[in-house]
A and B are shown apart, each in its own frame.
Chain A
Amino acid sequence: MNIHEYQARDILREHGIPVPPGEVARTPEEAEEAARVYGGAVVVKAQVHAGGRGKAGGVKLASTPGEAREKAEGILGMEIKGITVRKVLVAPAEEIESEAYVGIVMDRANKCDTFMVSPEGGVDIEEVAATMPDRIKRVRVDPRYGVLPHQLAWMGHFLYEDGKVARQAAAIMGQLYQAYVASGATLAEINPLILNPAGEVRAIDAKMNIDDNALFRLPEIAALRDLDAENPAEIRARDAGLSYVQLDGNVGCCVNGAGLSMATMDLVKYYGGEPANFLDIGGSSNPDKVVTALELITEDENVRSILFNIFGGITRCDDVANGIVEATKRIDIDMPITIRLTGTNEELGVKILEEHGFEAMVDMDRAVETAVRRVAA
């Protein structure tokens, strides 16, 4: 799960990290009011689950309340990577001596949490890693002990020469680790971490990704989910226990299993088509899931051809067949449906489908090729 910058800033603040104030605005008027209260120059920043906000024009400086209103007007409603911006963060512009980067990420390769810190802040850290690898320090955290004081001290001194400043940074990184663990995060970063002319270290921008699997025991974090910032079809899919990601193509895919779903999308492309979605109906064979799946696919205006690819293991072919029959009774479908069905209770499933005028195939390649061909029909 992604959370917004302002939410991540709140979490960091709760863990004692010095984060300058900021106000969330949903309208240009609210942005103007926030700027008036702060006085002086402010930054207006799009709150959206997409990277590259700055490049997309989603971050603007405003020197007066009126200008803050104008900038907010421009940013609210704009689309960044297909997502509409509905909120902006208004924060006083800070005086900056230097910018650093600090982040923690769940490190798959090393099976631990790993800190990445760099005195080159305010830019894309992947770029720093590629062009100036010696300007990044990585510190692995042993999950049994958590981050150790000397590790924090090492990182502090890597970032800042001045001992006093390094100590502030070390404390912030310790608090960042606490926030990361307490929130079930898989990523927490401060970029930039700034040093101001008064010699104070401050967290200006924060980003956190949360492990979906940890949400069941973190209700206060789960409540941060912003449904306005997500695709409505994907929200419905999640509520129905389906895994769905909308894409741009026109072949709607309905598959059981994540790996097979991806392989099916890839095969659509292989045969010259474009997949409209990733959709995994999972291991259970509840016919209601199939109905919801077909609704999601048919509500996508780009879809011209529907493809089922079911490999029955735990999923029973007859249950899926019943779901397809049931769904086509409930929804009007005016496009071709191609069905591949094999595995557990295959004969039963094929029989059910044939009784209702559907043809079922056994071969995955043949079914995908047929579904792609039917787009043009």
Chain B
Amino acid sequence: MSVFIGEDTKLVVQGITGRDGSFHTRQMAEYGTDVVAGVTPGKGGRTFDDTIPVYDTVEEAVQEAGANTSVIYVPPRFAADAIFEAADAGVELIVCITEGIPVADMLRVLPYVREKGARLIGPNCPGLIVPGVCKVGILPGHIVLEGNVGVVSRSGTLTYEVIFQLTRAGIGQSACIGIGGDPLIGTNFIDCLEAFEADPGTAAIAMMGEIGGTDEQQAAEYVAKHMSKPVVGFIAGQTAPPGRRMGHAGAIISGSEGTAEEKMRSFRDNGIGVAERPADFVGLLQERM
């Protein structure tokens, strides 16, 4: 069972000694994730909770502890460099939780990560979880259930809401991925759909988009052309006014582009089941599976 993460994941936590980093390191380890190292520049040589070695650089974490995945909990002004460093150190998957990174920094980060052959998830995302196996990020482990629905979303708590409703209805998940609420992110809907299509443990997909940008429209076209598995989608922000940023930096209707209406229409036109509200996912998925 694995979509981007799984039993082979060896995690390094960048910013392990910070408030968020330390809290979530314990949560991830408790869930069963193999946390092999932490990095905080200047604090190398220590041990976190008597079990996890802390290094000064990601390079050491890769070479000495064998890390292949990194999760980033560092403040916005240092986050772009943390991503550059992880990619340069040869980490294969980089999950950036940090919210508030300047978009100009992300413009430079994205081609660099691509050239190094790494995958970036986020920034400004809750990370991902493979129920019963592994979690990287901040998704609460107790709401998920092992199963065969792949969940992908631009949001955090809205994702928890949908997972919670699925779990209550007895519908388990193969993997839940939060791709992030920023305008520029490393992994988009299409990358996740492609991974779910290829994953034998996934039978159907629930995707949650929101206003702003055209990622959902492109994903809808991808579904029509390349997906054999059923997809159900929801768009948050049907009542959002144009031109106003709704919390997430990426959630803004620019001019007439990126409205919920346009995205839902694109879902319908491309054979995606449209959930009018989060509670509709249960019935729509059951009908299609």
Contacts and interface: CB of A to CB of B under 8 A. Distances in A.
Q: Do A and B come from one complex?
A: yes
Contact of A313 (B110, B138, B154, B241): B138
A263 B236 contact: yes
A364 B104 contact: no
Contact of A270 (B104, B158, B245, B277): B277
Contacts of A144: 108, 111
B171 interface: no
B251 A260 contact: no
Contact of A269 (B103, B110, B181, B239): B239
Interface residues of B, number: 60
Contact of A260 (B157, B241, B255): B157
Interface in B211-229: 211-215, 218
B107 A364 contact: no
B184 A213 contact: no
A259 B156 contact: yes
Nearest to B23: A314
Contacts of A247: 239, 241
Interface residues of A, number: 51
Interface stretch (B46-54, B59-67, B87-95, B159-167): B159-167
A259 B152 CA distance: 13
Interface SS of chain B: loop
Given A181-B104, A259-B208, A269-B239, A111 B157 contact: no
Contacts of B101: 213
Contact of B249 (A213, A217, A262, A343): A213
Interface string A232-267: 000000000001010100000001111111110111
A151 interface: no
A259 B238 CA distance: 11
6 closest Cβ pairs, A-B complex: A259-B155, A258-B247, A257-B157, A259-B158, A262-B236, A214-B102
22 contacts: A108-B214, A108-B250, A109-B213, A111-B184, A126-B256, A213-B100, A216-B77, A217-B102, A243-B247, A257-B247, A259-B155, A260-B155, A260-B157, A262-B211, A262-B251, A263-B158, A266-B277, A275-B239, A311-B157, A313-B157, A342-B164, A344-B140
Given A106-B183, A263-B236, A278-B240, 18 more contacts: A51-B243, A106-B103, A106-B107, A111-B184, A186-B183, A217-B77, A243-B247, A256-B157, A257-B155, A259-B153, A259-B210, A262-B251, A265-B240, A311-B164, A313-B126, A343-B164, A364-B279, A365-B277
Interface of A: 51, 106, 108-109, 111-113, 126, 143-144, 181, 184, 186, 211-214, 216-217, 243, 245, 247, 255-263, 265-270, 275, 278, 280, 283, 311-315, 342-344, 364-365
